[in-house]
């Protein structure tokens, strides 16, 4: 089988593993291209290379692309959620789709914790103060002005308890923190984590993290009904998807000081529009440009996870790949 590989596979060991699974790998990473392949470019590339299968990361795999290439034996998506492919059409055509759950869980968890601490410890204004040469003769000026809080001992709530939320929770119990989560599709037997309804989570937690994909169920789900329940010294964190939150409501509680602040890595518009920038530039917001999952190690993770998925599938004797109908990615196991 000839496989077109447009996802980054810069780990030599992972690439050699993949080459050992198939007859031929045609490696055309999107990175030298400068952006993901659009539908017409991807369709042309599949036809040019004579690929019988595709492993992608960000390319736009629309229904039109799939219908133009109905004989694809499988599509691999090197992402936690295969949101860049038309799953309904892939299923209709009997093209199995593999994804890479938890590929960026460690990266997002580390940044989640780092930026919450950055906000709680007033790190950014302290750096700006120091670089502004504001340190006068008073040796304790900065000590008094920028005294913050510790994350240890705080209640942290996860809205959506999938791979990322669980990873953060496991790291935070060692601070220690008390972990709450809301996820109607998941129950954890670990007594360290408390499953609660959204009203309770937003009411009691000192830090509220959003870990939801965009679905019909979740779009705009977090609005003033829940945001207004937050404590005035609480911190709101979104490293998942911006559109699961009503941004006008979020902007309202930030600008009016109804919460301590927010940590934001995702926005309604990327690049941001005027409303997004009102949040980004607020002094009580730590904002980053959608980089929570951007580490070199994430690419290694997705390569090895994809290889393992494909090896397991073939090892289990599924010679007729077309028989698989995307059950794993269509089943609801969590909303996080």
- The residues assigned a catalytic role are 241, 270, 290
The 3 state secondary structure assigned to the chain is CEEEECCCCCCHHHHHHHHHHCCEEEECCHHHHCCCCCHHHHHHHHHHHCCCEEEECCCCECHHHHHHCCCCCCEEECCCCCCCECHHHHHHHCCCEEECCCCCHHHHHHHHHHHHHHHHCCHHHHHHHHHCCCCCCCCCHHHHHCCCCCCCCCEEEEECCCHHHHHHHHHHCCCCCEEEEECCCCCCCCCCEEECCHHHHHHHCCEEEECCCCCCCCCCCECHHHHCCCCCCCEEEECCCHHHECHHHHHHHHHCCCCCEEEECCCCCCCCCHHHHHHHCCCCEEECCCCCCCCHHHHHHHHHHHHHHHHHHHHCCCCCHHHCCCHHHHCCCCCC
């Amino acid at each position: 089988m000839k496989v077109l590989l447009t996802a980054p596979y810069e780990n030599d060991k992972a690439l050699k593993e993949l080459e050992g699974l198939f007859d031929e790998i045609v490696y055309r990473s999107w990175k030298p291209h400068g952006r993901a392949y659009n539908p017409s470019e991807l369709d042309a590339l599949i036809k040019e290379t004579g690929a019988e299968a595709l492993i992608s990361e960000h390319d736009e795999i629309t229904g039109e692309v799939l219908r133009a290439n109905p004989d694809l034996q499988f599509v691999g998506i090197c992402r936690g959620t295969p949101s860049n492919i038309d799953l309904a059409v892939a299923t209709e055509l009997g093209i199995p789709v593999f994804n890479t759950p938890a590929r960026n869980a460690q990266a997002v968890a580390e940044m989640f914790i780092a930026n919450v601490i950055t906000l709680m410890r007033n790190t950014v204004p302290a750096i700006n103060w120091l670089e502004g040469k504001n340190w006068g003769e008073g040796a304790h000026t900065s000590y008094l002005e920028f005294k913050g809080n510790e994350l240890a001992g705080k209640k942290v709530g996860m809205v959506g308890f999938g791979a990322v939320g669980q990873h953060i929770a496991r790291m935070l119990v060692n601070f220690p923190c008390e972990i709450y989560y809301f996820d109607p599709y998941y129950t954890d037997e670990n007594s360290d984590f408390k499953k609660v309804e959204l009203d309770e989570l937003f009411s009691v937690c000192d830090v509220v993290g959003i870990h939801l994909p965009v679905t019909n169920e979740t779009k705009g789900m977090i609005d003033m009904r829940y945001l207004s329940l937050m404590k005035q010294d609480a911190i709101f964190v979104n490293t998942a998807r911006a559109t699961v939150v009503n941004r006008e409501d979020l902007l309202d509680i930030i600008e009016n000081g109804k919460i301590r602040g927010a940590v934001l890595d995702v926005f309604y518009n990327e690049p941001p529009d005027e409303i997004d920038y009102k949040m980004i530039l607020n002094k009580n917001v730590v904002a980053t440009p959608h980089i929570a999952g951007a580490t070199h190690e994430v690419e290694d993770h997705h390569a090895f996870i994809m290889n393992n998925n494909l090896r397991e599938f073939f090892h289990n004797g599924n010679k007729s790949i077309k028989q698989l109908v995307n059950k794993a990615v269509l089943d609801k196991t969590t909303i996080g």
